[in-house]
């Protein structure tokens, strides 16, 4: 369906007015600058995905319950960075469990966008699978017909190491210190850094404090052993991950707990643009007022 916009002729009848022309020109320049500003780094970059071998039947009660669960994940991500669900069925085989989690430094709009993207990938990645998981750079989503909520999972699901040989002895020592600091820090989300070396670690929210520490200890140990002198490294286990980078390859920040005031970079940019447009409009009104006074005085 096409939408047609109609503008009254009076909206354009003063185009010859220099003040009006100036307003249009400045507005176009500001809008152009807005669209040329680089977008914030995407949080929906694909890291890994996995599927169970068991399939469900199309049109089954399990499929209906799964659709309900995935909808709940997406809706919940608009106001919470983590949540878990269990959708009951009339029969045991119809029960489905699921959860999602966002990286703790994401603002809520970015969290919601990331989870929606993760959920949208589950179907194409694992068609009719009774269990599936997707990890994006900024969030994680998983469902299964067997309960996994609260259970440890330290299986390596993804790992990646950068080029080796880029570290000197001092940087290696800094990297090791950062990883040791992450191991000692408390909480499910941990960040640390020293000079140009940064690190981050996070557990899935269904783990207890003890389970989280156990998982991260293992992830950090394997990360150091596997990546050696690599300039960056990622180690993802089933229920936690640890990462480090050098020279600003990745930026890790502390979690923003005040989600009511959290804004993505794009939202801040848009607000700035609106403010600039409003300022230009006020300036033009003032110039037009002065022009009219000058014309009256010149008569």
Q: Is 264 left (phi over 0), alpha (psi -120 to 50) or beta?
A: beta
Rg of the chain in Å (alpha carbons): 26
DSSP 255: -
Q: What is the pLDDT of residue 257?
A: 41
Inter-residue contact 252 to 41 (CB < 8 Å): no
Residue 286: how many CB atoms within 10 A of its CB? 11
Name the residue among 102, 135, 126, 119 with its Cα closest to residue 262.
Answer: 102
DSSP 194: E
The ranges of the chain with pLDDT < 70 are: 1-42, 165-167, 248-299
Q: What is the pLDDT of residue 283?
A: 60
Model confidence pTM above 0.75: no
Q: What is the pLDDT of residue 107?
A: 96
Instruction: Report the C-alpha gap between 41 and 33 in whole angstroms.
Output: 18
Percentages of the chain per state (helix, strand, coil), in multiples of 5:
45, 20, 35
Inter-residue contact 247 to 196 (CB < 8 Å): yes
Instruction: Report the C-alpha gap between 152 and 140 in whole angstroms.
Output: 16
Inter-residue contact 220 to 183 (CB < 8 Å): yes
Q: What is the pLDDT of residue 273?
A: 35
Q: What is the pLDDT of residue 168?
A: 76
Question: Would you state the torsion angle of the CA atoms of residues 82, 125, 69, 203, taken in this order, to the nearest 10 degrees?
Answer: -20
Give the rounded percent of residues in the chain with a pLDDT score beyond 70: 68
Residue 279: how many CB atoms within 10 A of its CB? 12
SS3 (DSSP) at 116: helix
């Amino acid at each position: 369906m096409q939408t047609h916009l109609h503008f009254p002729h009076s909206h354009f009848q003063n185009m010859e007015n220099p003040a009006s022309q100036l307003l249009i020109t400045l507005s176009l320049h500001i809008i152009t600058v807005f669209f040329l500003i680089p977008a914030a780094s995407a949080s929906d970059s694909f890291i890994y995905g996995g599927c169970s071998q068991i399939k469900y039947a199309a049109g089954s009660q399990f499929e209906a319950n799964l659709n309900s669960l995935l909808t709940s994940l997406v809706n919940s991500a608009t106001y919470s960075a983590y949540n878990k669900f269990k959708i009951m069925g009339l029969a045991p085989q119809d029960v489905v469990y699921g959860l999602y989690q966002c990286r703790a430094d994401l603002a809520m709009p970015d969290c919601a966008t990331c989870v929606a993207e993760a959920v949208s990938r589950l179907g194409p990645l694992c068609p009719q699978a009774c269990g599936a998981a997707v990890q994006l750079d900024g969030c994680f989503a998983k469902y299964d017909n067997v309960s996994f909520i609260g259970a440890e999972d330290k299986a390596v699901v993804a790992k990646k190491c950068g080029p080796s040989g880029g570290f000197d002895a001092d940087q290696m020592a800094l990297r090791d210190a950062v990883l040791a600091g992450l191991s000692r820090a408390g909480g499910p989300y941990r960040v640390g850094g020293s000079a140009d070396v940064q690190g981050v670690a996070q557990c899935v929210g269904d783990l207890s404090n003890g389970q989280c520490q156990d998982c991260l200890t293992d992830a950090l140990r394997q990360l150091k052993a596997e990546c050696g002198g690599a300039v960056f490294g990622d180690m993802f286990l089933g229920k936690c991950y640890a990462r480090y980078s050098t020279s600003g390859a990745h930026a890790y920040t502390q979690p923003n707990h005040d989600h009511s005031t959290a804004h993505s970079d794009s939202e801040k940019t848009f607000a700035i643009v609106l403010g600039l447009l409003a300022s230009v409009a006020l300036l033009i009104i003032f110039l037009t007022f002065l022009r009219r006074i000058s014309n009256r005085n010149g008569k």
